[in-house]
Amino acid sequence: MGEYVTHLESAIDATRLPAGTLQTMHAQRPLWVRYDLDAVGKAATPETFIARPATMWRYRELLPVPPDAPLVSLGECLTPLLPAPRLGESLGLDDLWIKDESHLPSGSFKSRGMAMAVTMARHLGVSRLAVPTAGNAGGALAAYAARAGLEAYVFMPADTPVVNQMECVLAGAKVYLVNGLIGDCGAIVRNGVAPMNWFDCSTLKEPYRLEGKKTMGLELAEQLGWFLPDVIVYPTGGGTGLIGMWKAFTELRTLGWLRKERLPRMVAVQSDGCAPIVRAFQAGERFARPWENARTVASGLRVPAAVGDFMMLDALRESGGCALAVPEESIVPAMQEAVKREGISVCPEAGACVAALGELRRSGFIDPQERVVLFNTGAATKYVESLPLRLPTIADPSQVDYARLA
Ligand SMILES: *Cc1c(COP(=O)(O)O)cnc(C)c1O
């Protein structure tokens, strides 16, 4: 195990499980990886990390990878944290930043989790992996499995964006289109564990994808000089990004490395076409009921039920944050507005966050001068179906009427 990992801990009832062997869930709920943070604090300082190569692996004292385990890596960079002044101005925000995860291999932040999960699975002797996916998780698993020389099975709803289908096929995964939603795909993977002898890499059904996502929070802290922002706005599906970041922040707080007392208010954004976490947050509940007839162009947010629902809701409440559903119709226009203003390849999921920011300003949840970080979880270009292109044509290149181009 990672040098400083002490054990795994059930997120629902704190049961301790040994690290160092293959683990999935406990009582149908996710596991935390726990570290000896006192020992980490003696072995490393923020400067230790900064001196190492600029990849997610530089935080190794806070990661589960054993020192002798080879990494499965596609060159995960530190992603840019970009000021967004033009978009900020249009939203009434003076200090808006975008953390651009579209730079990662396979074009989404799912790479962080899958790089970690596949590294750990291979180390623990797994040779066949399977995942249900709304899109990007499948693409990332297929890529990292190929990189590791492991077999991958991917199950996705039939209307998953075509680029996600293509990236899985290219990487040699066995891909199946399922007449159903991600929950149906999840059941296929779960029921196939025994007959197919594959390892289930579903969101939060193994403990290590979360540790990979945690690096998003570590990296953000480092990029801001260990001075976290006031508000983080995050598009929420299965919840690993939100939960992983919150775990990073609480570990950094325990280590005493943060230079600001208050942790960020975490905001979970969903579409009103699929908003189970928002509904549970507003009702004051700790668990979310499954959403019926889930639909949204932001495919990463089309998760009607999540095993980590209570972990998300706990993080939102502990942070003093909130959960917000935006009108489905607002997502693509907001995405386009963001790309137009900043040139950043903003995906529909992050477009939902842009729409949410307008609402959070109007309601007074965010003050104009507060520092806000919006996560762009993936590349816009993976969603070719989201924007119907009706471009004017030039039928005769020798007869261009320039007066009509304006
Ligand atoms: C998976 C995904 C999400 C949702 O992420 P979670 O951390 O699982 O909630 C958001 N955006 C994109 C682009 C995704 O692929």
Dihedral pair phi/psi, residue 119, rounded to 5°? -55, -45
pLDDT of residue 282: 98
pLDDT in tens, 202-250: 999 999 999 999 999 999 999 999 999 999 999 999 999 999 999 999 9
Q: Nearest to residue 208, comparing CAs of 365, 6, 24?
A: 24
Q: Is the CB of 107 under 6 A from ligand 1?
A: no
The response to whether residue 112 sits with its C-beta less than 6 Å from ligand 1 reads: no
Q: Distance (Å, rounded) from C-alpha 30 to C-alpha 27?
A: 8
- R_g over Cα of the chain: 21
- DSSP string computed for 258-311: -SSSSPPEEEEEEETTB-HHHHHHHHT-SSPPPPTT---S-GGG--S--TTHHH
Distance 400 CA to ligand 1 centre (A): 44
CA distance 65 to 137: 21
Locate 54 and state its tokens: 């600029």
Return the DSSP state at 100. E
What mean pLDDT do residues 122-128 have? 97
In this predicted structure, the answer to whether residue 261 has a pLDDT above a threshold of 90 is no
Nearest CA to ligand 1 atom 8: 238
Q: How far is the CA of 104 from the centre of ligand 1 (A)?
A: 14
Task: Write down the pTM of the prediction.
Answer: 0.97
Report how far ligand 1's centroid is from the alpha carbon of 192 (Å).
Answer: 24
The conformation of residue 346, written as its DSSP 8-state character, comes to: B
pLDDT at 1 exceeding the cut of 90? no
Question: What per-residue confidence (pLDDT) applies to 249?
Answer: 98
Confirm or reject: Cβ of 351 under 6 Å from ligand 1: no
At a CB cut-off of 8 Å and minimum separation 6, what does 269 contact?
A: 233, 234, 235, 236, 323, 324, 325, 326, 352, 353, 356
User: What is the C-alpha to C-alpha distance for residues 224 and 15, in angstroms, rounded to an integer?
Assistant: 35
Cα 211 to Cα 164: distance, rounded to the nearest angstrom: 24
Question: Smallest Cα–Cα separation from 300: which of 343, 239, 242?
Answer: 239
- What pLDDT is stored for residue 80 in this prediction? 98
3 state DSSP class of 99: strand
Distance of CA 233 to the CA centre of its chain: 12
CB of 202 closer than 6 angstroms to any ligand 1 atom: no
pLDDT for position 226: 97
Counting DSSP H helices and E strands in the chain, the numbers are 13, 13
Q: Separation of 319 CA from ligand 1 center, angstroms?
A: 20
Give the chain's mean pLDDT: 97
Q: At what angle do helices 208-223 and 110-123 cross, to 10 degrees?
A: 130
Q: Tell me if 214 CB under 6 Å of ligand 1.
A: no
Q: How far is the CA of 377 from the centre of ligand 1 (A)?
A: 6
Residue 367 contacts residue 311 (beta carbons within 8 Å)? no
Secondary structure class of 371 (helix, strand, coil): strand
Q: Is the CB of 185 under 6 A from ligand 1?
A: no
What's the gap in Å between 68 CA and the centre of ligand 1?
A: 31
Residue whose pair of structure tokens reads 């059904």 in the numeric block: 205
What distance in angstroms lies between residue 232's CA and the mean position of ligand 1's atoms? 15
**Residue 233: other Cβ atoms inside 10 A:** 27
Q: Is the shortest distance between the CB of 239 and ligand 1 below 6 Å?
A: yes
Residue 101 has what pLDDT?
98
Ligand 1 pocket, 113 CB below 6 A?
no
Check pocket membership of 212 for ligand 1, CB cut-off 6 A.
no
How many angstroms separate the CA atoms of 312 and 161, rounded? 26
β-strands 5-10, 31-35 pairing: antiparallel
Q: In DSSP terms, which residues pair with 82 in a beta bridge?
A: 98
Residue nearest atom 2 in ligand 1 by C-alpha distance: 300
Q: Please enumerate in sequence order all residues whose Cβ is within 8 A of that of 210, keeping only pairs 6 or more positions apart, or say none.
A: 30, 32, 33, 113, 204, 240, 243, 244, 247
Q: Tell me how many degrees the CA angle 74-79-85 measures, rounded to the nearest 5.
A: 155
The pLDDT of residue 2: 85
237 within ligand 1 shell (Cβ under 6 A): yes
Any atom of ligand 1 within 6 Å of the Cβ of 378: yes
164 Cβ below 6 A of ligand 1: no
How far apart CA 350 and CA 332 sit, in angstroms, is 10
Identify the pLDDT of residue 388: 87
Q: Ligand 1: does its nearest atom lie under 6 Å from the Cβ of 308?
A: no
- Name 7's bridge partners: 34
Ligand 1 centroid–CA 218 distance in Å is 18
- CB of residue 101 inside a 6 A radius of ligand 1: no
Give me ligand 1 centre to Cα 390, in Å.
Answer: 29
- Residue 169: what pLDDT? 98
Atom of ligand 1 nearest to the CA of 349: 11
DSSP 376-390: E-BBGGG-TTSS---
Mean predicted confidence (pLDDT) in 252-259: 98
Beta strands in 12-170 (DSSP E): 16-17, 31-35, 81-83, 95-100, 128-132, 151-157
CB atoms within 10 A of CB 71: 18
- Is there an atom of ligand 1 within 6 Å of 110 CB? yes
Which atom of ligand 1 lies nearest, measured to the CA of 382? 13
Residue 406 in this model has a pLDDT that exceeds 90: no
Q: Is the CB of 217 under 6 A from ligand 1?
A: no
Residue keyed to tokens 């816009």:
380
CATH class of 81-107+207-383: alpha beta
Whether the per-residue pLDDT at 164 is higher than 90: the answer is yes
Q: What mean pLDDT do residues 193-209 have?
A: 97
Q: Would you kindly state where each structural domain of the chain is located, as residue ranges? A: 81-107+207-383
